[in-house]
Amino acid sequence: MRVTVSRKAHFNAAHRLHRADWDEAQNAAIFGKCANEHYHGHNYELIVHVTGTIDPETGYVIDMKVLRDLIKSEVEDALDHKNLNIQVPEFKSLIPTAENIVVVIYNKLKSHLNTDQDLEVELYETPRNFVKYTGP
Ligand code: NI
């Protein structure tokens, strides 16, 4: 019997979508306003789902406090109120699209879960634009 435990979280961050090896015209054509050299911000909403078996002793799949603290230390502390391009090492050479951000978040959380716990991460960049990653 496998049950999914979910928790929502939130962070604000700035980014810019841009390739240094493209000229400004190509960056503008592909990334549009998101290529703006002065950056822009998003209110990111995150939903983390952990699926696993119920521990018969505790009745938990994962302790919600553990999940909350993990999201805080791995995601919020690392990304909240940051300029993703400049301040977050993972994006030094990776464009901080929603797609790449959700993979980075997944990888940061996954390494702290038990191997029998499945992880799914949803990331809302705007209320209407969101991505989901469930692993490779
Ligand atoms: Ni953006």
121 CA → ligand 1 middle, Å = 19
Distance 4 CA to ligand 1 centre (A): 30
Residue 99 lies in a domain: yes
CA R_g for the chain = 17
Please check whether residue 25 lies inside any domain of the structure: no
Distances (CA, A) of 96 to 34, 42, 45, 84, 126: 10, 12, 15, 7, 15
The pTM assigned to this predicted structure is 0.95
Is residue 46 in some structural domain?
yes
- Cα(114)–Cα(33) distance, integer angstroms: 41
Q: What's the pLDDT tens digit per position in 29-69?
A: 999 989 988 999 999 999 999 999 999 999 999 999 999 99
Residue 34 lies in a domain: no
Q: pLDDT tens across 83-128, in order? A: 999 999 999 999 999 999 999 999 999 999 999 999 999 999 999 9
Domain count within the chain: 1
pLDDT at 94: 97
Q: Ligand 1: distance of its center to the CA of 75 in Å?
A: 18
Distance 50 CA to ligand 1 centre (A): 27
Which CB contacts under 8 angstroms, 24+ apart, belong to 129-133?
A: 129/98, 130/45, 130/98, 131/98, 131/99, 131/102, 132/102, 133/102, 133/103, 133/106
Give me the active site residues, please: 34, 81, 125
**Would residue 92 count as lying in a domain?**
yes
Q: Does residue 49 lie in a domain region?
A: yes
**Chain-centroid distance, C-alpha 41:** 15
Q: What is the DSSP letter of 55?
A: P
Q: Which residues surround ligand 1, an ion (CB under 5 A)?
A: 34
Range of the domain at 84: 2-14+41-133
What would the mean pLDDT of 129-136 be, rounded to a whole number? 97
Instruction: For residue 122, tell me if it sits in a domain.
Output: yes
CATH number of domain containing 109: 3.30.479.10
